[in-house]
């Protein structure tokens, strides 16, 4: 949520910055118009209430002196009715202002590349050697099916498209990957959390999924509850409506959870394999910090996510997303994209974002500064990492000519000593 006071004070700045995210400047004017009407009615209501209090005292004086107060009583009845009507208008306007503001995305940082599409993202760096395979590489889903460790057909039968079963060493590899991620994250100082997988509407609003993106999630019928699309939601909302003691900052959380996404609007994209599923595992990282530290925390978060890929020996690059391609809540996003030999391209495996005070303002997460004044924290989030995509990348990058897959060295202890998956 943007600071409404800032929108009032610098409307041209807000229009210019949000235009780079596809927001029509008229939306800002409409919001300010509603806000001006609301503030006008607040003044009118308060003036009439003050008048009513003054006249009520006069009526009391008249009655005390046995004088006729009928005219003033009639007048105040009308004033009270007018106040009631204005207050009802204020309630409606308050909802309209809040709804209009809730649909505005975060202000992009000045260093974010401007673009109304994903084209124009800027590569920051590359790492690792892409595998030099002397045979035609197979797609991860072909490898998984040939090795008997991924069963998409059974998943489709039981649940529908974009679901699957992991079998045998496939299931163990998935478990090895997320345990490795969690262990590395906790070694780096993150506190491991096991959060709820179903959250209420306030939680979805707090992290920015509601009200704008309801079509992207799975909701419980006849209940205001949602299956989480990412662990970011329960992790950020842990401190909703709270004041974090200053001495506790920064707070770093990590969690493994399933993520449930309807993938609305993705018809025809990545219909096979582990890249775009309705249910998948993801290890998430969330940070809360003071505003002056958040950009350093973003770089540290990104570097830590990179270290996971480096230890797995997977080539990747880091890009900064354009203004319109990053998430609704982000002021800046660095994407990690890992190399997929069969597709001969990089694919996203982590997004690390600084949401500045945007989520904290929506979820009312604050701290007291050294002067005792309440301030909003800055919240950051990043995948550390998407587990299924990591498994897919391992299968493709570590495949052998005979169809077997070598296990990365760091995962062998998690695999009980298994060094290769064979038919």
Annotated binding site: 230-232, 261-263, 284, 348-351, 381, 383
| Binding-site residues from annotation for L-serine | 230-232, 261, 284, 381, 383
Q: Single out the residue of 292, 307, 309 nearest to residue 354, CA to CA.
A: 292
Q: Which neighbouring-strand residues pair with 184?
A: none
Please report the DSSP string for 189-252 in residue order. Answer: TPEE----SEEEHHHHHHTT-TTTTGGGSEE-TTSSEEE-SSTHHHHHGGGTTEE--GGG-SEE
Q: What phi and psi, each to the nearest 5 degrees, are found at residue 88?
A: -65, -40
Q: What angle do CA 204, 183, 203 make, to 5 degrees?
A: 10
How many angstroms separate the CA atoms of 139 and 340, rounded?
Answer: 8
Q: Which neighbouring-strand residues pair with 354?
A: 332, 380
Residue 337, sorted as left (phi over 0), alpha (psi -120 to 50) or beta, turns out to be beta
Q: Single out the residue of 104, 2, 359 nearest to residue 208, CA to CA.
A: 359
For 56, 79, 81, 119, 174, the CA distances from 69, given in Å and listed in that order, are 10, 15, 18, 74, 82
| Count of positions (residues) in the chain | 423
How many angstroms separate the CA atoms of 60 and 204, rounded?
Answer: 51
Q: Residue 206 in contact with residue 359, Cβ under 8 Å?
A: yes
How many angstroms separate the CA atoms of 304 and 220, rounded?
Answer: 35
The secondary element (H helix, E strand) that includes residue 350 is strand 345-354
| Binding-site residues from annotation for ATP | 261-263, 348-351
């Amino acid at each position: 949520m943007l600071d409404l006071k800032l929108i009032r004070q610098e409307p041209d700045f807000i229009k210019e910055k949000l235009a780079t995210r596809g927001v029509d400047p008229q939306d800002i004017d409409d919001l300010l118009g509603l806000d001006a009407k609301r503030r006008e009615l607040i003044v009118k209501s308060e003036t009439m209430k003050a008048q009513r209090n003054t006249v009520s005292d006069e009526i009391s004086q008249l009655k005390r002196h046995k004088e006729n107060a009928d005219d003033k009583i009639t007048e105040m009845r009308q004033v009270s009715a007018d106040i009631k009507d204005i207050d009802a208008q204020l309630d409606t306007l308050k909802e309209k202002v809040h709804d209009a503001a809730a649909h505005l995305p975060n202000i992009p940082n000045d260093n974010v590349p401007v673009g109304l599409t994903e084209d124009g993202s800027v590569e920051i760096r590359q790492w690792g050697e892409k595998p030099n395979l002397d045979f035609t590489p197979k797609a991860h889903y072909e490898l998984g099916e040939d090795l008997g460790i991924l069963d998409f057909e059974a998943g489709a039968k039981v649940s529908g498209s974009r679901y699957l079963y992991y079998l045998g060493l496939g299931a163990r590899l998935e478990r090895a990957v997320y345990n490795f991620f969690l262990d590395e994250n906790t070694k780096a100082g993150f506190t491991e959390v096991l959060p709820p997988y179903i959250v209420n509407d306030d939680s979805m609003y707090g992290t920015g999924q509601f009200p704008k993106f309801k079509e992207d999630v799975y909701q419980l019928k006849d209940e205001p509850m949602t299956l989480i699309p990412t662990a970011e939601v329960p992790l950020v909302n842990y401190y909703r409506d709270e004041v974090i003691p200053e001495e506790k900052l920064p707070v770093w959380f990590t969690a493994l959870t399933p993520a449930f996404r309807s993938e609305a609007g993705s018809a025809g994209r990545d219909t096979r394999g582990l890249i775009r599923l309705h249910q998948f595992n993801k290890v998430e990282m969330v940070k809360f910090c003071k505003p002056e530290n958040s950009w350093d925390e973003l770089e540290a978060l990104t570097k830590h996510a990179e270290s996971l890929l480096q230890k797995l020996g997977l080539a990747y690059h880091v890009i900064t997303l354009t203004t319109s391609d990053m998430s609704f809540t982000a002021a800046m996003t660095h994407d990690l994209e890992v190399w997929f030999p069969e597709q001969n391209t990089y694919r996203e495996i982590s997004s690390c974002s600084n949401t500045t005070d945007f989520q904290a303002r929506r979820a009312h997460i604050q701290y007291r500064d050294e002067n005792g004044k309440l301030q909003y924290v800055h919240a950051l989030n990043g995948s550390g990492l998407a587990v299924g995509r990591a498994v897919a990348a391992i299968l493709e990058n570590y495949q052998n000519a005979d169809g077997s897959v070598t296990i990365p060295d760091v995962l062998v202890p998690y695999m009980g000593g298994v060094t290769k998956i064979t038919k």
